[in-house]
A and B are shown apart, each in its own frame.
Chain A
Amino acid sequence: MTAALSTGREVGVGPRKITSEPRAGWRRLSLRALATAFLFVFVVLPLVAVMRTVWEDGWRVAWLAVLSPVALSALWLTLWTAAVVAVVNAAFGTATAWVLVRYRFPGRAFLNGLIDLPFAIPTLVTGLMLVVLYGPQELLGHVLAAHGVRLLFAPIGIVLSLLFVTFPVVVRAVEPVLREIDADQEEAAQTLGASQTKVIGRIVVPAIGPAIVTSTLLTFTRALSEFGSVVMVAGNLPRRTLTAPVYVFGAVESGEPGAAAAMSLLLIGLSALLVVMVDRFARRRALRLGLVR
């Protein structure tokens, strides 16, 4: 299958300039070509296929597909749930990181272990877990339904599953930065008469702020693309609880690759933009701090 994949694709994509590296022997060049070919075949080629499909159908068709009421409401639902999740996750993620680093309490190791669970558990399983817990005939859902609260098959269910899936992102980004802050700095500030809020505002926030910003953006990106857990809990009613990735799935299943590709391209563009933003932000900071050349 790789033979079929690699028909002449990697010939033209090799590096053009070798001047920066004087000792570019054949071994180095072949490794470079191999790495480039691998990434082009496995990452670029699939994405190009999506772009090509949109291009072949014409921009007008793609535009109409994305602007159809169902697609538009799916996109809007995805965007606002992702935004809510990003904000909530930023707040609770930072609080959790703070608790883990600054406080010693019984059960701290257990809490630390729980945080990585969402990374380990397959997202489909996450969705299933929420259905089991909050489903109308199930454990907690039964109680909630009696009080007229419905979490599943509603946007709140989507938010819940996204919060579960993205929970570790902010915690694990903020935690190491928080730990690196020298106790000396804060103590010095306190000795000089700074109040606790001032210490936090002047020393802690500037230190962990960038980590919070980048991880919040990553949470948003992750939430935009989530499928497995959302498809389980959302109910996927068009114009009500159908998110953009689930819309793509539905379009593929009902034999409309054009509409699916159009929505996909939009989502890819959004994610790529966010990833580039995060990368730029992190690099500029690293440059300023002298961490990289």
Chain B
Amino acid sequence: MSMSPPLPPAAVESGVGVPARARGVTPPFGTKRPRRGPVAPLVRKRPEPQGPLRTLLLTGVGLYVALLVAAPVMAIVASAFARGPFAFVHALFAEGGAEALGLSLGIAVVAVAVNTVFGIIVAWVLTRDRFWGRSFLNALVDLPFAVSPVIVGLALILLFGPQGWFGSLLARAGIKIVFAWPGMALATIFVSLPFVVRQVSQALSDLPHEQEEAAATLGAGGWLVFWHVTLPNIRGGLVNGVLLTTARCLGEFGAVLVVSGGVARMSETGTLFIYRSLEERRDLGAYAMAFALAVLSLSLLLAAELLKRRRTMELGGHRR
């Protein structure tokens, strides 16, 4: 049995016989690349501090979350089912509730479609392209998170309302945007715009250029590269973004309220149904719809979380 002779320094420098990882060569895609250092320190358990600080923090945080978050949630669940499941179902679908849910879903579909297609394009341009004004576009993407939904509604009325910029134009063409579903869809698109862009941007910047470049070198056209190389790799981020967008669309209230003009039953989403139900003193209907919407968007976020967890497990990432 002969031991392999130690490599001369020159060989180490040129990388002969040294594992690819040690040479600093990017490992092929799919192999897990630890963020910082070897995996061991992340897995090793930190000695857990005991004592009064731990007790104090645990009770403090526990009480805070229980009072602030858990108690209100339990209150609405209790109220929605106070008169039994049949009353709940009846209150949910009567008085225009079914139509409201339908319109909410329809608007969500439109907004998600627009934000997905353009979100991918914007994300690609922001991560793969370099040009003057790129950081400005990047800042624009975050604005919908910061602008109050009511202001969005106001802006749409200023644009498309009867006295708005395009008001007379639209009136002549016989198109109704504000106080109808197209305006509500526009408002929802604005409000839920950042999710797909941000999620896909993250996925794109994690994806090394090399694969796309290799495919291009082998003669694949831009569309082919995108469809067969880029898209499969960003799928996780994209699905996550779409789920978050849908949840946000279903829950939108302020912008839609301003744009809908408060026309009952004609242009009413789930959240507007809640608002009207309370004004008409049909509390159970409001509670039922609130519960339904919360469960809907909660399951969407749960699905996103589960997908994310499965992906990190597949990549061998650390568990929470």
Contacts and interface: CB of A to CB of B under 8 A. Distances in A.
Interface string B257-291: 11000000000000100110010000000110010
Contacts of B239: none
Given A21-B131, A43-B143, A252 B75 contact: no
A227 interface: yes
Nearest to B182: A1
A96 B141 CA distance: 29
Interface of B: prevailing SS: helix
Q: What's the interface size class on B, roughly?
A: 35 or more
B148 A21 contact: no
B143 A184 contact: no
A254 B64 CA distance: 39
Contact of B150 (A27, A103, A221, A249): A249
A146 interface: no
Residue of B44, B142, B298 with most chain A CB atoms under a 10 A cut-off: B142
Contact of B70 (A4, A43, A114): A114
Contacts of A92: 60-61, 64
Contacts, number: 278
Interface stretch (A68-76, A160-168, A234-242): A160-168
Contact of B149 (A44, A225, A271, A276): A225
A259 to B, nearest CB: 11
Interface in A99-137: 99, 102-105, 107, 111-112, 114-126, 128-130, 132-133
A114 B254 contact: no
Contact of B169 (A4, A99, A103, A120): A4
B274 A124 contact: yes
Contacts of A1: 175, 177, 182, 186
Interface in B136-160: 137, 139-159
Nearest to A227: B254
Given A119-B301, A125-B290, A183-B41, A226 B222 contact: no
Contacts of A117: 69, 73, 298
Nearest to A128: B290
Contacts of A184: 41
Contact of A167 (B68, B144, B158, B294): B68
A275 B182 CA distance: 29
A261 B69 contact: no
Interface of A: 1, 4-5, 15-18, 20-21, 24, 27-28, 31-32, 34-36, 38-39, 42-47, 49-50, 52-53, 92, 95-96, 98-99, 102-105, 107, 111-112, 114-126, 128-130, 132-133, 138-140, 160, 163-164, 167, 180, 182-184, 186-187, 196, 221-222, 224-228, 231, 245-246, 248-249, 252, 257, 260-261, 264, 267-268, 271-272, 274-276, 279
